[in-house]
Amino acid sequence: MDDQTELKTGVDAVHCSSEKLDKALLALKVRHTVTEHQIDRVNDFTKRIQEDSSGVSLDELNIRLKALHSAFDAFNKEQTKIEEKDFDEISHPNRSKYEELYYCIATTLKVCISKLNNSDSNQTVNASHAILPGEKYDTVKLPKNRIARIFWLNTFTKLHHLVSKLSPAAKASITGIKIIAGNYEIILQRLKDRFKNKKIIGNQHIKQILEHPKIIYANAADLRELIDTMNNHLIGLGNINRPVESWDDLIVYIITSKLDPDTLNKWNEKAPIDRLPTLSELLNFLKRR
């Protein structure tokens, strides 16, 4: 076989392999879209019962919750496969968007199942069913109107989700306030008053950037986490009017200090020689790894 024929054979093989990869990736994305629509439909159902719960049975709520779990499990598996084939997908916000949506829907449905299971026969319930563990509670009167009860439960769902995301320091700021639906606005305002302090917010973002752990061995998951961490905290600093757009030199230095030796060596081979690289150049390089 002469050089020309061998070259053509090699090119054809690469082209064929690329086509197979494209088709496989496309098939994954199609299935992924179907799964997203399944989650969206459960979300639409949840919104509807918050407006009007008449005619909704406990069995239907359980079926919807089971469908949500199944769809989200499929979503995670498909998203991982897509990211393995297309590294650019790692920085796409799709995964975090649907994770957050899943937790919100699941929490709402579980609370509705728990409450509506007994709400018709019990107009008064112990707040132990509507507060977080470890909190003191009194007896709480639920609204007698079923739709009003749904709104009450939705407020509690938001409160439960909020408190579950708080750091120990943030939880300390609401110590003494009963974690019940009626105190949602009070708790929210207390947190806003406490954490609107730009100095505290800025220091926390900077701390997370500086203390992000160094990557030991090159792998996509750790690189994705590093990129997301830096982007998220830079956005947070930008939100309090810090001039992050002029910090490229500093942030590039910090990020490269977190890289594993292999990735760092490859970056040094690609980085500009006669000038300091931009943050965009570094992030684009990491996304292709």
Could you report the per-residue pLDDT of 114-137, keeping only the tens digit for each? Answer: 766 655 444 333 333 333 333 333
The pLDDT tens digits of the residues spanning 13-70 come to 434 444 555 777 788 888 888 889 999 999 888 888 777 767 778 888 889 999 999 9
Q: What is the predicted pLDDT for the residue at 7?
A: 40
Residue with tokens 């509807």: 48
Q: Give the per-residue pLDDT at 13.
A: 43
> Averaged over 263-276, what is the pLDDT?
93
In this predicted structure, which of 2-6, 40-44, 178-182, 184-188 has the lowest mean pLDDT?
Answer: 2-6
Section 147-156 average pLDDT = 56
Q: Which residue has the higher pLDDT, 277 or 28?
A: 277
pLDDT at 281: 94
With cut-offs at 50, 70 and 90, classify the pLDDT of residue 83: confident
Name 125's bridge partners. 140
φ, ψ for residue 209, nearest 5 deg: -65, -45
Residue 146 token pair: 């079923």
DSSP code for 278: P
Residue 3 has pLDDT above 70, yes or no: no
pLDDT at 251: 96
Residue 151, pLDDT above cutoff 80: no
Contacts of 264 (CB under 8 A, 6+ apart): 256
| Over residues 215-243, mean pLDDT | 90
pLDDT on residue 87 = 62
Residue 133: predicted pLDDT: 35
Task: In the chain, count H helices and then E strands.
Answer: 11, 2
Residue 214: predicted pLDDT:
94
Q: Which residue has the higher pLDDT, 148 or 43?
A: 43
Q: Is the pTM of this model over 0.85?
A: no
User: What mean pLDDT do residues 228-248 have?
Assistant: 91
Residue 180 has pLDDT above 90, yes or no: no
Q: What is the pLDDT of residue 121?
A: 41
- CA-closest candidate to residue 45, choices 21, 67, 64, 19: 64
User: H helices of 181-219, where?
Assistant: 184-195, 198-211
Report the percent of the chain where pLDDT is more than 90: 26
What is the predicted pLDDT for the residue at 240?
A: 87
Would the pLDDT of 78 be above 80? yes
Give the model's pLDDT for residue 15: 46
Q: What beta strand segments (E) does the chain contain?
A: 124-126, 139-141
If you average pLDDT over residues 229-247, what whole number do you get? Answer: 91
Give the separation between CA 65 and CA 289, rounded to whole angstroms: 38
Which pLDDT band holds residue 243 (cuts at 50, 70, 90)? very high
What 3-state class would DSSP assign to 271? coil
Q: How far is CA 157 from CA 23, 33, 165, in A?
A: 42, 28, 13
Average pLDDT over residues 75-88: 78
Reported confidence tier of residue 237, pLDDT bands at 50, 70, 90: very high
Residues 6+ apart with CB under 8 A from 282: 252, 255, 256, 267, 271
Report long-range pairs for 93-102 (Cβ below 8 Å, ≥24 apart).
Answer: 98/36, 98/39, 98/72, 101/39, 101/43, 102/39, 102/68, 102/72, 102/75
3-state secondary structure of 130: coil
Contact (CB, 8 A) for 15 and 58: no
Whose tokens are 């319930």? That residue is 125
The rounded Cα 184 to chain-centroid distance in angstroms is 23
Look at residue 177 in the predicted model and tell me its pLDDT.
83
Handedness of CA 209, 211, 212, 216 (dihedral sign): positive
36-42 long-range contacts (CB < 8 A, ≥24 apart) are 36/75, 36/98, 38/67, 38/71, 39/68, 39/71, 39/72, 39/75, 39/98, 39/101, 39/102, 39/105, 42/67, 42/68, 42/71, 42/105, 42/109
| pLDDT (average), residues 254-272 | 94
